Amino acid sequence: MHKYPIPPYKIKMVEPIKMISREERVKKLEEAGYNPFKLRSEDVFIDLLTDSGTGAMSHFQWSALMMGDEAYAGSRSFYRLEKVVKNITGYKYVMPAHQGRGAEQVVIPELVTKEHMYFISNIHFDTTRAHVEIAGARAIDCVIKECFDLDEYHPFKGNFDLEKLEEIILEKGKENIAGIIMTITNNSAGGQPVSIENMTSVNKIAKKYDIPVIIDGARYAENAYFVKQREKGYENKTIREIAKVAFDLADIFLMSAKKDGLVNIGGIIAIKDNEELFQKCQTNIVPKEGFPTYGGLAGRDMDALAVGLEEALDEQYLAYRIDEVKYLGDLLKEAGVPIQYPTGGHAVFVDCGAIAPHIPYDQFPAQAVSNALYIEGGIRPVEIGSLLLGRDPDTHENLKADKEFMRLTIPRRTYTLEHLRYVAESLIKVYNNRESIKGLEFTYESPLLRHFTAKFKPVE
Ligand SMILES: *Cc1c(COP(=O)(O)O)cnc(C)c1O
């Protein structure tokens, strides 16, 4: 084991980044309504908003772009992508989508066959929750309680609470459960992995009650890497073999390929063997995403994705990725900054409820700390707390998140350890001045997915 993670690639092309002055950052943030989503990226020095579509492609992917077949129907690029996805998943039916939410809007409504249905997930990702609600169903989260014990080590904090899962099914009635969504890794609570053992039990329960299982697998390769590291019996399996075991435990695979697809845009729908569902989705995809052999993507995008899916299964690549996230987490933890421990696959989740206990949940402590980090270091994180969670769809009350997280999301193959060290140093300064951070109140709020467009002012 080396002291620091070593990347299994070298840099061939660079993109300059520039830091504007502190006074300018103060002004830009005010103009952005104290919402980092509304900043221009040129005013950001290190962008940790998301790992979605922000990674660097390899020279193999860039050359694959040139092979794109831009035919509207039956493109060679589609068949290349289909072959790779079938190979990895073992599923029979494949369709591309323009990104993860595109896949969700095609498939989720087809699973909601009547009124008052529910989806159950370890934790629904925000767009997944939105599509569940748009389809007229309700989203219930069912993750183990250890997930919210940030200091205690647990190898698989993304796991389902199996007892609770069965209770929910019995309480709501099995005929009212539209699907069980296994989010791997569990994005919303730290990119935490789900064990194969847990997925096996979820699958068993689902089959007992005849409920379809969906893998929301934006980071399925990272999940497989954690399984290899932490779950007994998988030490000597390849990442691909472990991923295949997971796919065998589900019926449908929805993927934002902007994560473990290693591309800047793209999504995947794969269905194991339900031909009727596939046919319905084929009809539904045309007006929403496009013809089933391009689903909103250019031919070249599908070629780059076909290559990226293979690269993301490389164990050396995954080892560096997971270790660099841990590197940032370790620097913060050593300085006393409270984080979700152990760190997950794609981000360090910082516990802003603990950093700013003087800010109430409906003044969004994690958004406030995020803004302070932007002012301090030109770094753009993202809030994963009560702001993201939104309001109860029935009562319209502000919901209170279990944790007020600020996510420092690491784009793939993009920043160096020096960048990450600078991020740690900046956040430690913010942490040491934490009493001065002020809460926020809305000056504008949209009814759905409010975190993207909301505007605020600091509470004086
Ligand atoms: C990103 C993501 C999505 C949505 O995908 P987009 O490509 O952003 O539309 C869905 N589920 C999970 C777990 C994600 O991380």
Q: Please identify, by atom number, the ligand 1 atom nearest to the C-alpha of residue 185.
A: 13
Give residue 219 CA to ligand 1 midpoint distance, Å: 9
218 lines ligand 1 (CB under 6 A): yes
> Which residue is closest in CA terms to ligand 1's atom 14?
218
pLDDT of residue 3: 81
The verdict on whether 224 is a catalytic residue reads no
Could you tell me the pTM of the whole model? 0.95
129 lines ligand 1 (CB under 6 A): no
Give the integer Cα–Cα distance in Å for 384 and 403. 8
> Which residue is closest in CA terms to ligand 1's atom 8?
100
189 lines ligand 1 (CB under 6 A): no
Q: Please identify, by atom number, the ligand 1 atom nearest to the C-alpha of residue 217.
A: 13
3-class SS of residue 189:
helix
Give the integer Cα–Cα distance in Å for 305 and 269. 13
Give residue 183 CA to ligand 1 midpoint distance, Å: 10
pLDDT of residue 1: 61
pLDDT of residue 2: 73
Amino acid at 411: P
The verdict on whether 216 is a catalytic residue reads yes
Give residue 253 CA to ligand 1 midpoint distance, Å: 12
**Could you write out the DSSP letters of every residue in 145-159?**
GGGG-SSS--TTTT-
Give the integer Cα–Cα distance in Å for 214 and 183. 8
The verdict on whether 125 is a catalytic residue reads yes
> Which residue is closest in CA terms to ligand 1's atom 5?
100
> Which residue is closest in CA terms to ligand 1's atom 6?
100
Give residue 438 CA to ligand 1 midpoint distance, Å: 31
Q: Which domains does the chain have, with CATH numbers?
A: 22-51+314-458 (3.90.1150.10), 59-311 (3.40.640.10)
End-to-end Cα, the chain, rounded Å: 50
Which residues are CB-contacts of 57 (< 8 A; sequence separation ≥ 6)?
A: 262, 263, 264, 304, 308
The verdict on whether 451 is a catalytic residue reads yes
> Which residue is closest in CA terms to ligand 1's atom 4?
100
127 lines ligand 1 (CB under 6 A): yes
The verdict on whether 98 is a catalytic residue reads no
**Could you write out the DSSP letters of every residue in 351-419?**
EHHHH-TTS-GGG-HHHHHHHHHHHHHSEE-EEESHHHH-B-TTT-PBPPPSS-EEEEE--TTTS-HHH
Least Cα distance to 183 among 109, 111, 259, 95 occurs for 259
Given 43, 47, 161, 216, which residue is catalytic? 216
Dig out the tokens for 292 from the structure: 């089933």
pLDDT tens across 17-35, in order?
Answer: 999 999 999 999 999 999 9
Probe residue for ligand 1, chosen from 134, 182, 187 as the CB with the greatest number of ligand atoms within 8 Å: 187
pLDDT of residue 447: 85
223 lines ligand 1 (CB under 6 A): no
Given 78, 93, 118, 125, which residue is catalytic? 125
Q: How many residues does the chain have?
A: 460
pLDDT tens across 147-167, in order?
Answer: 989 999 999 999 999 999 999
DSSP symbol at 46: E
125 lines ligand 1 (CB under 6 A): yes
Cα dihedral 400, 402, 404, 406, rounded to 10, equals -130
256 lines ligand 1 (CB under 6 A): yes
- Mark the ranges of the chain whose per-residue pLDDT is less than 70: 1
For residue 181, what are the β-bridge partners?
A: 121, 214
> Which residue is closest in CA terms to ligand 1's atom 1?
256
